[in-house]
Amino acid sequence: MADSSSLTTVRSDSIAARPATTMTIAVTVSTIGALAGLLASGAPPAVSAAIALTVPAAAIDIRQRRIPNAAVSASAVVLVAGGVAGLLQGAPTHAPGAVAGAATMCAPLLLIHLWSPTAMGFGDVKLALVLGAALGVVAVPLALAALALAAGGTSLVGIVRRSPTMPFGPGLVGGAIVAATSHPLWIGSVSAAVSGSA
């Protein structure tokens, strides 16, 4: 007959494993959902994949308050590979937009990090660099929109939860996804407004 203490250990281990399994499933579904939404919005495949690949980084930031380099690097590799593949097929380069988007989204966070590393981790800076570059491929203003959404959303969650500190990675990823998926709507509205005033 099994020892009661060993049964208790097995049960506690299986219970402890459930949240991790649930989290893995949730992150996987969220990543696939983000990828599908980005592709449906008309974002280029490499941009869509690069942004979607940062969803696990946001989940890790929520649980561990850190953004793993592996997730950010994978996103950057996909984005660069997509750009190179496009050039080989004769597509115009999106490098200027990527650089401008990266600078737009990353520079403010880098300044905050240099001023107070405890207020803004360098992982957030690197994540913003990659997300900004991806958004800049589509339209540079999306990087600014994503940063504004990230700051506003994170602040709102912090107020609701009454927490003085909040992980910023989820806000950056969420802001990038919202900005990228909604860009056809507001870019179309801006274009219509400009055409109407001309």
DSSP string, 7-24: HHHHHHHHHHHHHHHHHH
| Separation of CA 101 from chain center | 14
Q: Quote the CA–CA distance of 164 and 40 in Å, as a whole number.
A: 37
Q: By CB neighbour count within 10 A (0-12 exposed, 13-18 middle, 19+ buried), where does 143 fall?
A: buried
| Residue 56, amino acid | P
Q: Where are the alpha helices (DSSP H) in the chain?
A: 4-40, 45-52, 55-64, 69-88, 95-115, 122-138, 141-161, 169-197
Taking CA atoms, 131 is separated from 116, 154, 173, in Å, by 22, 17, 8
| Separation of CA 40 from chain center | 17
Model confidence at 18, in pLDDT bands (50, 70, 90)?
Answer: low
pLDDT tens digits, 105-129: 999 999 999 999 888 999 999 999 9
- pTM exceeds 0.85: no
pLDDT tens digits, 36-64: 888 888 888 999 999 999 999 999 998 88
What is the dihedral angle through the alpha carbons of 136, 37, 187, 57, rounded to the nearest 10 degrees?
-30
Taking CA atoms, 89 is separated from 85, 92, 93, 95, in Å, by 6, 9, 11, 15
